Chains A and B, each alone.
Chain A
């Protein structure tokens, strides 16, 4: 019973989001034709006559009543068809698939790194509260973490890309490289990943670190830590088995909440490094009023967030045995 209500809840959310994604862009001023036929600021002005305008609207199915368009969209969606992007002139699904892999790689790598580092450093910091390592870490992470990602990215590019010439300054892969082996390709991708991932790790680590530190400080004050010490357990063992395990609970929630934000939040980093991720695509889709692309992109992000929440629920159950019996 409990499971069914939960699934029903997810389905309702998805349906609500789908309709929201459909109607919201259409209520914004402007339409996809502005960018197809010359919006202000475009390099070549094109004056659109009424007949051509009508033809274009009909071509993209925008001449039908809104509800009819919605029904068409839902039917297509049921068949797994996300539609055809008006600006990019390609199927939405292939555009998203092409971009999503890079976003997942970038976000996945940096998220794993900053979470792992944040947790470990937060724990060390709390364990040595007031000590040199605590104060040092606190100062360091808070100061580097307050760099705006854009600025930090530029800094890394100038330093490691231009001055030292260690890393490529743009893209996710060397252009049109003929790789002799998959290992070589993986290395090339890794080479391109390091600077943007580092930027993301540095800008996000502060939050996890602080939360972990606070959470640990609360746990350290608990009686069971005192008991463990009294039992004569090794410090390192208490830290890992007793303190960290309990301090991790709030972190899981925070991570789940962050995942969705990360997809759109990496846009600045993607821009600086010309990294072909979803964030940039989303921004362009809004600019160009590319309805099908907007709907597709937001749908994917929603699904990822829901999936992240689901995983967080599962992890929570594993971490906190008390919930299993509810």
Chain B
């Protein structure tokens, strides 16, 4: 009896459930027809990048991007990486490069209707410099001395010393915040009020859900650069972005390195298009320049000749990458990239020759060379788990020239500690930011064993050189020193792609040099303003066609299962009665 009642209830639940899901599906499709909504997700699991206020986002590229939809800067970058006027219409630099005068755009309004003026510019630089532990991208803030207000639409930024990358790293990076809201906030990191996301930007935040990693923005119809071409923008958290694209849960996602290989399955799929971009990211081997024997430049060169970077690109990222510039700057950045550097093409004989000359010889014939005191030439190669495959390849490549390597996988924080203490020989590490010459400040970052006074002086000189051609020559020199001294050997630059549904939005592009200080994400706010459409070739885009509507399969299956159960029960009852 109990059994039967239970089954009947179950059947009922299933029926009600399937019916309501069906209704829901209908109501959803009815609601989306009116406005233009674009949903996107990154291919990094976890869509939460923090509250999109200037002080709430997590210190990662996707966090800054989500904030940049709401807040504007004085300058911005177009798709070619050229600095373009944004909140400032024009600007002048003083002779000594220390004073920058900005002429602001007239009639810009904060989301709450208040006018944006030079006083807000003064307040923003002052406030963010004072709270630079809360604004996580504080790198260049220390160059700011103070800001003067000339009139409502003219602000003058005074620097402590000339700073060549000022227009990108400060003017194009520091978000402008409204004085009337922030002047009374003493701990900006903990201010996560609705008023904390009032900016001048093209979008207004509607909803943010930390647990689910969801963001929803609505277009700012009063935007001073024109209304965005979409009405609503949504960012989701997914684990498998390719699956989410296929089911229509998202309209766009980017893929990176070896994961970019999913692009091949989308390239010919109707309704999808693929666009490729560089990632401005490098994987490198960091050498300890203070410890014997990695402190010998010739020894580091021998290691470089032993490592086959082409094999790594083929095996690990399946060809979705290029061998790196040994001077770190990404080759796509034609303005800074020095193309005439040694690249240490794989050469076992050359490597062996150097090692022999240095006196590391395999006396006992076990395949591993020895130091002069007879100890084996063996190292630990430290790596985070992400790059374990690269580490194993390097291990086998170094074994060919008679260097023993033990791969040790560590978590990031531990590795960071070891790098800071200088307690290592070889470490594999990866990072972005290589579109910006700033990265050359410490080429073996996050390590710090490379100390070279000529180099540091050159770095400081380029930072203060306002003449572009002269600065370029200095940045070339810096790269040459990195490539020749080899404090770190750059392995590869992965490629990335974005896959999207052109019928939803087809203006995606990768910004040369990255967004802001160099974020490689295809989410320049210009994408949503439709600027890219002008003069945009349709390279790499497949013919768009509408995707199949969601099939009501699940509901049907449930209903059939429910009906079958009920029929079966009736049948059973009938049998009993007989």
B132 touches A45 (CB 8 A): no
A40 touches B430 (CB 8 A): yes
Q: Which residues of B contact A98 (CB under 8 A)?
A: 210-211
Q: Which residue of B lies closest to A275 (CB)?
A: B239
Q: Which residues of A contact B58 (CB under 8 A)?
A: 87-89
In which size bucket is the chain B interface?
35 or more
A95 touches B210 (CB 8 A): yes
A102-B211, A165-B551 given; A42·B60 CB < 8 A: yes
B247 touches A169 (CB 8 A): yes
Q: Which residues of A contact B386 (CB under 8 A)?
A: 41
With both chains docked as a complex, state the minimum distance between the C-beta of A276 and any C-beta of chain B, in angstroms.
4
Which label, helix, strand, loop or mixed, suits the secondary structure of the A interface? Answer: loop
**Partner of B237 from A31, A158, A171 at Cβ < 8 Å:** A171
Q: Is A29 an interface residue (CB 8 A)?
A: yes
A40 touches B432 (CB 8 A): no
The 8 A CB mask of B56-74 against A (1 = contact, 0 = none) is: 1011110010000000000
Q: Which residue of B lies closest to A168 (CB)?
A: B249
Q: How far is the CA of A206 from the CA of B17 in the complex (A)?
A: 29
B56 touches A89 (CB 8 A): yes
Q: How far is the CA of A34 from the CA of B446 in the complex (A)?
A: 10
A44 touches B446 (CB 8 A): no
Q: Which residues of A contact B342 (CB under 8 A)?
A: none
Q: Which of B503-562 contact A (CB under 8 A)?
A: 517-520, 550-551, 553-554, 557
Q: Which residue of B lies closest to A286 (CB)?
A: B411
**Partner of B239 from A39, A165, A187, A274 at Cβ < 8 Å:** A274
Q: How far is the CA of A114 from the CA of B456 in the complex (A)?
A: 64
Q: Which residues of A contact B281 (CB under 8 A)?
A: 43
Q: Is A107 an interface residue (CB 8 A)?
A: no
A176 touches B207 (CB 8 A): yes
A47-B139, A59-B133, A162-B247 given; A274·B237 CB < 8 A: yes
Q: Which of B408-429 contact A (CB under 8 A)?
A: 411-419, 427, 429
Q: How far is the CA of A90 from the CA of B196 in the complex (A)?
A: 14
A34-B413, A169-B238, A169-B249 given; A44·B553 CB < 8 A: no
With both chains docked as a complex, state the minimum distance between the C-beta of B12 and any C-beta of chain A, in angstroms.
14
Q: Is A166 an interface residue (CB 8 A)?
A: yes
Q: Which residue of B lies closest to A187 (CB)?
A: B20
B249 touches A40 (CB 8 A): no
Q: Is A164 an interface residue (CB 8 A)?
A: yes
The 8 A CB mask of A38-61 against B (1 = contact, 0 = none) is: 111111111101001001100100
Q: Which of B12-40 contact A (CB under 8 A)?
A: 17, 20-21, 23-24, 27-28, 31, 39
**Partner of A167 from B50, B61, B439, B554 at Cβ < 8 Å:** B554
A40 touches B247 (CB 8 A): no
Binds A, one of B212-220, B333-341, B365-373: B212-220
Q: Which of B554-574 contact A (CB under 8 A)?
A: 554, 557
Q: Which residue of A lies closest to B239 (CB)?
A: A274
With both chains docked as a complex, state the minimum distance between the C-beta of A7 and any C-beta of chain B, in angstroms.
34
B240 touches A184 (CB 8 A): no
Q: Is A183 an interface residue (CB 8 A)?
A: yes
Q: Which of A83-110 contact B (CB under 8 A)?
A: 84, 87-90, 95, 98-99, 102
Q: Which residues of B contact A187 (CB under 8 A)?
A: 17, 20-21, 24
With both chains docked as a complex, state the minimum distance between the C-beta of A256 and any C-beta of chain B, in angstroms.
27
Q: How far is the CA of A289 from the CA of B212 in the complex (A)?
A: 22
Q: Which residues of B contact A56 (CB under 8 A)?
A: 133
**Partner of B138 from A35, A52, A191 at Cβ < 8 Å:** A52
A40-B419, A166-B557, A280-B46 given; A84·B190 CB < 8 A: yes
Q: Is B243 an interface residue (CB 8 A)?
A: yes
With both chains docked as a complex, state the minimum distance between the C-beta of B488 and any C-beta of chain A, in angstroms.
12
Q: Select the residue from A28, A102, A171 with max chain B CB neighbours within 10 A.
A: A171
With both chains docked as a complex, state the minimum distance between the C-beta of B343 and any C-beta of chain A, in angstroms.
23
A44-B433, A184-B24 given; A166·B554 CB < 8 A: yes
Q: Which residues of B contact A162 (CB under 8 A)?
A: 243, 246-247
A164 touches B24 (CB 8 A): no
Q: How far is the CA of A175 from the CA of B233 in the complex (A)?
A: 12
Q: Is A273 an interface residue (CB 8 A)?
A: yes
Q: How far is the CA of A46 from the CA of B47 in the complex (A)?
A: 22
B212 touches A41 (CB 8 A): no
Q: Is A170 an interface residue (CB 8 A)?
A: yes
A37-B136, A169-B243 given; A90·B210 CB < 8 A: yes
Q: Which residues of A contact B81 (CB under 8 A)?
A: none
Q: Which residues of B contact A190 (CB under 8 A)?
A: 17
A164-B553, A180-B27, A187-B21 given; A172·B212 CB < 8 A: yes
Q: Is B192 an interface residue (CB 8 A)?
A: yes
A167-B554, A273-B239, A276-B211 given; A176·B59 CB < 8 A: no
**Partner of B431 from A40, A286, A289 at Cβ < 8 Å:** A40
Q: Which of A148-192 contact B (CB under 8 A)?
A: 154, 157-158, 161-162, 164-173, 175-178, 180, 183-184, 187-188, 190-191
Q: Is B51 an interface residue (CB 8 A)?
A: yes
Q: Which residue of A lies closest to B517 (CB)?
A: A44
Q: Is B445 an interface residue (CB 8 A)?
A: yes
Q: Is A284 an interface residue (CB 8 A)?
A: yes
Q: Which residues of A contact B418 (CB under 8 A)?
A: 29
Known: A47-B139, A286-B411. 18 other contacts (CB 8 A): A29-B413, A34-B412, A35-B59, A44-B60, A44-B431, A45-B431, A55-B132, A88-B48, A88-B210, A99-B211, A157-B240, A164-B553, A169-B239, A169-B244, A170-B236, A184-B20, A190-B17, A288-B413
Which 4 A-B residue pairings sit nearest by Cβ, starting from the closest? A30-B413, A166-B554, A98-B211, A29-B417
Q: List 17 A-B contacts (CB under 8 A).
A: A30-B414, A38-B59, A40-B427, A41-B386, A41-B429, A44-B61, A52-B132, A89-B190, A157-B240, A168-B249, A169-B239, A170-B244, A171-B236, A176-B216, A190-B17, A274-B213, A276-B211
Chain B interface residues (CB < 8 Å from chain A): 17, 20-21, 23-24, 27-28, 31, 39, 45-48, 50-51, 56, 58-61, 64, 132-133, 136-139, 142, 189-190, 192, 207, 210-214, 216, 234, 236-240, 243-244, 246-247, 249, 281, 384, 386, 411-419, 427, 429-433, 439, 441-442, 445-446, 517-520, 550-551, 553-554, 557
